[in-house]
Amino acid sequence: FRNSPVVVGAMLGEVLREGAGQITEVLVVHPGTAPGGSFFQAVKASLAGVMTDELKQALADPTPSPQAVVPAAARTGCKYGSTCYRRDPAHRANFWHPGDPEAVTCRKEPCKYGASCKNKNRSHAGRFSHPEGTYSIWEYSVQTGWEAFESQAQIITEASWRSFQEGGTPTLAKVPCRDNILLIDFETMTQRME
């Protein structure tokens, strides 16, 4: 997390508490953190409705941990544009948003296809701008050391995504996932269970 694990853990705990009875299973994978670490302790405390001293301190000092900040001229546009809800300084320092004072200096050349652009190549997205809300890139990556909860689901999803990137089909991937079918719509970048 770029945000404090304590704050994110508390937020997850709050969601789980509010959704009690409606959520049947939650799988939290947090590589590099021992079970019982600050993230997990924050989830447990939040589930119990307790605000720990560590959470109070994290909320009082929302400064993210030090990290490299991209110079304004080299920043890319946030894929959520003006609808972005992230307000943390690290995100704002690495991505520009409509309305940012220096956003004008960071703009890219407009894509000649505009809203009808079908090129989802990451290098294309880095070079050209597209009308807000009409273009998105599917981000799907698994770092080393992670295991998919169902290996075939990952393989099918990645193969479908590559096929969509190269030829525009399938627009809707049907991925067997345990006893269900996960529907992934690459055009709207949404997913749901069948």
CA angle 5, 33, 176 (to 5 degrees): 90
What tokens were used for 193? Answer: 């269970």
Tens place of pLDDT for every residue, the chain, 194 residues?
A: 456 777 777 787 777 777 666 666 666 655 555 556 677 777 777 777 766 677 667 666 555 444 444 444 456 777 777 777 777 777 777 777 766 655 444 456 788 888 788 877 766 776 777 776 655 554 444 444 445 556 677 778 888 888 888 888 888 988 887 778 888 888 887 888 88
H or E element in which residue 104 lies: helix 103-106
* φ, ψ at 173 (rounded to 5°): -95, 135
CA–CA dist 71, 146 (Å, integer): 32
What are the CA-CA distances from residue 138 to residues 51, 79, 80, 125 (Å)? Answer: 36, 10, 13, 12
Q: What is the pTM of this model?
A: 0.29
